[in-house]
Structure 1
Amino acid sequence: MKKRKFKISDILFVVFILLLIIPQTRTPIQVAVNKLKVVIWSPSIEDEEDQNMVTPFQYAVVDLQGETQSILIGKGKVTFISYWATWCPPCIAELPGIQELYKDYGDNVNFILLTQEEPERVQRFIEKRGYELPIYFPQMQAPEILQENSIPTNYVIGTTGKIVIKETGAADWNSAKVRKLIDGLIVNN
C-alpha cells in the first residue's frame, strides 16, 4: 500500500476547519463568506400574482432609547422590515447595504429593524460599527404573514400592504434593482 503525501491544500483545509472551530475566528469567517453572497445576491421581487397582502396594523415596538412606539404597517408608506440579530453572520453581512438604503430613503420609507436581543448588546454592536439605523424590539407577535423562523428575513411592503419582497438570508439591499423598486413604490404612493 502506497503512503499518501500531504499537500499544501490538505494543510490549508485543516487550518480552515480549525479556524471554523475556534469561536473567535468562526464569526468573521462566516461574515466574510456571507459578504461574498451579498455581492452577487440581490433580493427577488415577488411576481405580481404571488404578492401577499398585509392587513394594515399598528406594530407595537420599543426603540433603543426605551420609548414605546406604534408604527403603522401596510398603509400609506413603504415599509422595510428586517428580522435580525447581532450574532447572525448573514445579518452582519447585509447590514452595510441596509444602512446605505436607510441613509438615502429613511425619510420616505419606514425602516423597522427588529431583534429579540438585549438592548445593551444591540447598542454596543451598533455603536461599534457606526450604524445609524432604527432598531426596535417587538412588543407583540407579528401577523402570521410576517412571521418567519429564519434570520435574516426582510420584507419590503408597498403603500397598499402588498409584500413586494420577502427575502430570507443575506442579500444586497443597496442594489440598483432594490433602489429602482423603492423609487417606483414611493412615486406610486
Structure 2
Amino acid sequence: MIFELNKKFFSNVVFVLAMGLLIYSPTRIWLLRQVAFSPSVENVKDRVSIKNYDWQLQGLNTENINFSEVKGKVVFVNFWATWCPPCKAELPMIQKLYNDYKDKVIFIFVTNENWGKVSDFFNKNNYNLPVYNSISTPPNQFLKTNSIPSSFLVDKNGSILIEKVGAADWNSDKTRNIINEILKN
C-alpha cells in the first residue's frame, strides 16, 4: 500500500514538474530549439510564385521599402513577434544565417509591434535583423496562415521554395545548401 502511494505520489510530482517546465517560457523556448528541424523545400509542382510585389513596408531599424524593390533577388521573409515562444526559439538560428548571408539575401522581418518593444528585445538578445511594419497588405502567397512564426524563402524568379509555419532551424547545412544553390542561378 505504501509502495503504491509512493509510486503514485512520485508520478504526480514528475507530471507537475514536467508541466511547470513546459509552461515556463525559457524552458519552452530551449525545448523548441532542440526539436527545430530544417525546413523542407516545396515540391516543384506545389510551388507558388509571388504575383503582386506591391507591398509597402515601414522600416523600424532600416529604410522603408516597397517589396517590388526586391523582385529578382533571393528573399527571406519572416513574420514574428517578441512575445511568441517559437519565434524566440528560432531567432538565434536566423541571426546566424543573417550574419553570413546579409550581403547576398534580402532579409525582411515583419512584426506588428512598435520599435520600442522590438528594440528592447533586440538589445537584450544582441539581434540586428532588419525589421518592418507592414503598411499595406502582403502578397496573397504570404497570407495562407495567421500563425507566427511564418517564414518564406523566395528565389530570384519569385517562386516560394520554402514555406514554413512554426519554428525551424534556419541555420542548418541543408538550408545553407539550398540558399547557396539558388544564389548560383
TM-score normalised by length of structure 2 = 0.89
Residue in structure 2 matched with residue 12 of structure 1 by the alignment: 14
Residue in structure 2 matched with residue 135 of structure 1 by the alignment: 131
Shift of 1:74: 6.6
Shift of 1:144: 1.5
Provide structure 1 residue ranges, at least 5 long, that are not aligned to the other structure. Answer: none
Return closer, same or farther for 1:37/1:20 CA change in 2, 3 Å cut-off.
closer
Identity %: 39
CA RMSD of the aligned region, Å?
1.9
Aligned counterparts, 1:1-189, within 5 A? 4-7=4-7, 8-18=10-20, 26-38=24-36, 41-65=37-61, 67-72=63-68, 75-147=71-143, 148-188=145-185
Does the 8 A contact of 1:74 with 1:157 survive in 2? no
Match of 1:35, as an amino acid?
R
Return closer, same or farther for 1:20/1:43 CA change in 2, 3 Å cut-off.
closer
Aligned length: 181
Give the number of the structure whose residues are more often strand, by fraction: 1
Tell me which moved more, 5-14 or 92-101: 5-14
Does the 8 A contact of 1:75 with 1:161 survive in 2? yes
Shift of 1:66: 7.6
Match of 1:33, as an amino acid?
L
Match of 2:97, as an amino acid?
L
